[in-house]
Amino acid sequence: MTRLRSVRLSGRRPLMGLGLIAVLALTACTGTGETNSHSNSSQASNQSVVYSHSGALASLDPVHADFSETASVDQALYDTLISYDQKNEIVPELARSYKVAADVLSISVTLRSGVIFHDGSRVTAKDVAYTLNRDVKLAVGVASTLSDYASTHVVDPTHLVIHLKRPSTLFLGALSNIYIVESRLVSAHQGTDDGQAWLNKNDAGSGPYTLSSVSTTQVITKRYPKYWAFNSHRPAKFMFLESDQASTTAASIKAGNVSIGKIDTTSAATLKGQRGITLKKLRDGAQVYIYFNTSQGPTSNIAVRKAVRLAYDYNAGLEKIRQGLGIIATGPLPSSVSCRPPEPPSKQNLAEAKKVLKDAGISNLTLTLGYQPNSAKNAQEATLLQSDLKGIGVDLKLTPMQFPAYLQSLSSFSTIPEMFLAADAPPYPGAGTMLSTLYLSTAVGSNRTGFSDPTFDSLVNRALKTSDEKTQCQLYEQAQLILAKEMPAADLYESADIWAYDSNLGNSVQVNPVHGTLDVKAVEFAKK
């Protein structure tokens, strides 16, 4: 089963206070930003980039690329067979071409010829097979996206066939999480842990940068001159620096010691108008939800779910609590995935919410919402919903619940919380990844709502076995229309972050569609 890129509501982004939205007039979340005309020559002169990120780096081993800290660095050191572009479409990397079999039980891949690892060895089909087999054997991290993997047949150095246990159109996209390692090099340092300890501190990749040094707080890489897609405008040196405080990151950017970083609205206000610094809002691919238990209790009644959805003040939540960082949701899946039917933005309507309950004969209703207490935003949104529901005569009890405990509660539909506030993102930009994981009735352990609908299941399962992309899309769109009708969740908003960076980098700072963090390979100095 594919694991979602669940969003930690604490630690992933700096927390923000209320009432600061007026101090910063950033552009909308389309990726445009505010740039000042003067450049910061200190970064341009040495052609180096320092990226300040939050969270300690636990490992460089690509099997752990499900952690954003690992994925950020591994983008620089390694390549995948395929990836996604900013239009959420699959693009080839090491794979020159690929073909999914009509029965969706295999994928034939032709590799680019002449691609070399950092030690000069050629990238071959043997390395791809080794990587897939190693990840599955370790059964950690990105292996969660390879549950349908059976084996790889190496035809010759540039041709291979990946065989699956069962038909799955999701598997091709899952390859965007699998960074290919050099089999000879890792085997030579296999030890007793299949090379995990060695890969934690060493590089066995073919990516645009090579590893110079690594510690828990800093990684230094250098541009690889023999990279198959070499770009002289990429930084000669790319450094990753841990900093969990937005104010520290902002001060370092202002001083010219850091080139790129995510900051909060307070810090952004201190950088507004600064020479050589660009501020940009970018969505991270995640969407915030209120998940309902549809299998039992008061929220099994669609009238209750509809009333809650109509009661919530989406504008207040987005503008006051999330400081305008994002957009109001327009359907059950974020816009970072493909195959979404057009849906209007979620909207508050208290009069209609009262009418829905009255028409259903529901009164004296008490509900319970689980929320993550270590997130200020999460707690504020829970309080906002409590106030909104009071306005339609519904009493809401708030129950703090840590995210690991919530995930454990999903082991049975009977233990799923009545309502829970959380954010989720796909592991890569495909509608099927979220639909199959969040809402299939058979997905016990990841189904957030206990949702069970035979027609929905049939549509999604047909899409998972259909090789024709147009037909897949149609099936996924029909499935989403069922979700829009049945309302197993309240779709709140798509989240975004403020990025501050050296203006010499032009428009190259963007979010990686797969990992939801900086797209390291895209970063380059503006052409002059």
* Whether residue 449 sits in one domain with residue 367: yes
Say how many domains are in the chain: 2
Can you name the residues that pair with 455 across neighbouring β-strands? none
Per-residue pLDDT, averaged over 402-423, amounts to: 96
Band (pLDDT 50/70/90 cuts) for residue 33 is low
User: What proportion of the chain, given as a percentage, has pLDDT over 70?
Assistant: 91
Q: Is residue 293 part of a domain?
A: yes
Residue type, 410: L
Do residues 351 and 466 share a domain?
yes
Structural domain includes residue 13: no
DSSP code per residue over 321-378:
ISTT-EEE--SSS-TTSS-----PPP---HHHHHHHHHHTT--S-EEEEEE-TT-HHH
Based on the fold, state whether residues 157 and 303 are members of the same structural domain. no
The pLDDT of residue 5: 54
User: Is residue 255 included in any domain, yes or no?
Assistant: no
Q: What pLDDT shows up at residue 341?
A: 95
Q: Are strands 489-502 and 277-292 parallel, antiparallel or unpaired?
A: antiparallel
For residue 288, pLDDT over 90 is answered with yes
User: Which of 85, 48, 385, 60 shows the shortest CA–CA distance to 216?
Assistant: 60
Average pLDDT estimate for 237-266: 95
388's CB contacts (< 8 A; 6+ apart) are 311, 312, 313, 348, 350
Where in the sequence is the domain holding 114, given as residue range(s)? 48-207+223-231
- Identify the pLDDT of residue 466: 95
- In this predicted structure, the answer to whether residue 28 has a pLDDT above a threshold of 50 is no
Residue that terminates a domain, selected from 231, 247, 268:
231
How far is residue 398's CA from residue 334's CA, in Å, rounded to a whole number?
A: 26
Residue 463 lies in a domain: yes
pLDDT value of residue 16: 25
Alpha-carbon span 408 to 354, nearest angstrom: 34
Question: At 236, is the secondary structure helix, strand, or coil?
Answer: coil
Task: Give the CATH number of the domain where residue 143 resides.
Answer: 3.90.76.10
- Using CB atoms within 10 Å of the CB of residue 31, give its burial: 0 to 12 exposed, 13 to 18 middle, 19+ buried: middle
Q: How far apart are CA 452 and CA 443, in angstroms?
A: 10
Q: How confident is the model at residue 3 (pLDDT cuts 50, 70, 90)?
A: low
440 and 300 assigned to the same domain: yes
Query: Does any domain span residue 265?
Result: no
- Asked, for residue 450, whether it belongs to a domain, the answer is yes
Lowest mean pLDDT among 13-22, 302-311, 335-344: 13-22
Chain-centroid distance of CA 286 in Å reads: 6
Same domain, 227 and 292: no
Cα 484 to Cα 301: distance, rounded to the nearest angstrom: 15
Arithmetic mean of pLDDT, 335-339: 90
Nearest CA to 422 out of 54, 8, 12, 15 is that of 8
What size, in residues, is the chain? Answer: 528
Residue 485 phi/psi, 5-degree rounding, is -80, -40
- Are 339 and 173 in contact, with CB atoms under 8 Å apart? no
Radius of gyration, CA atoms only, the chain: 23
What is the model's pLDDT at position 31?
44
Which token pair is 178? 């699998």
Residue 319's CATH number: 3.10.105.10
Per-residue pLDDT band at 216 (split at 50, 70, 90): confident
pTM of the model: 0.88
pLDDT tens-digit readout, 49-97: 999 998 888 899 999 999 989 999 999 999 999 999 999 999 999 999 9
Judged against a pLDDT cut of 60, whether residue 9 lies above it is answered with: no
**Pairing outcome for strands 489-502 and 95-100:** unpaired
168-193 mean pLDDT: 97
pLDDT of residue 22: 27
For the chain, the 3-state helix, strand and coil shares in percent, each to the nearest 5, are: 35, 25, 45
Do the domain assignments include residue 116? yes
Residue 243 token pair = 């900093």
> Is residue 59 a part of any domain in this protein?
yes
Tokens of 139: 């059964």
For residues 227 and 304, membership in a common domain is answered with: no
Cα gap 80→172, rounded to integer Å = 11
What is the pLDDT at residue 29? 35
Looking at the fold, whether 167 and 292 belong to one and the same domain comes out as no
Q: What does the pLDDT read at residue 528?
A: 73
If one compares 313 and 336, the residue with the highest pLDDT of the two is 313
Same domain, 188 and 301: no
Tell me: pLDDT of 203 over 80.
Answer: yes
Query: Residue 527 has what pLDDT?
Result: 83
Give the pLDDT confidence of 415-440 residue by residue, as tens digits.
999 999 999 999 899 999 999 999 99
Helix axes 454-464, 431-438, angle to 10 degrees: 140
| pLDDT computed for residue 227 by the predictor | 98
More confident site: 31 or 520: 520
Q: Are 184 and 198 in contact (CB under 8 A)?
A: no
| 187 and 290 part of one domain | no
Question: Amino acid letter at 116?
Answer: I
Q: CA of 472: how far to CAs of 4, 147, 168, 371, in Å?
A: 20, 21, 11, 35
Report which of 512, 462, 459 is spatially closest to residue 486, judged by C-alpha positions.
459
Q: What is the mean pLDDT of residues 230-255?
A: 95
Instruction: Yes or no: say if 178 and 81 are a contact pair by the CB < 8 Å rule.
Output: yes
Average of per-residue pLDDT across 453-461: 98
* Token pair in block for residue 385: 């919903």
**Rounded distance between C-alpha atoms, residue 408 and residue 346, angstroms:** 29
Predicted confidence at residue 46, as pLDDT, reads 52
- Tracing tokens 């076995």 back to the chain, one arrives at 465
Structure tokens at 376: 């200020």
Say which range, 43-52, 317-326, 467-476, has the weakest mean pLDDT.
Answer: 43-52
Is the domain of 173 the same as that of 90? yes
Nearest 5°: the CA angle 72, 517, 15 is: 120
Residue 45 scores a pLDDT above 50 = no
Position 4 scores a pLDDT of: 59
Same domain flag for 375 and 315: yes
At residue 57, the pLDDT reads: 87
Same domain (yes/no): 187, 326: no
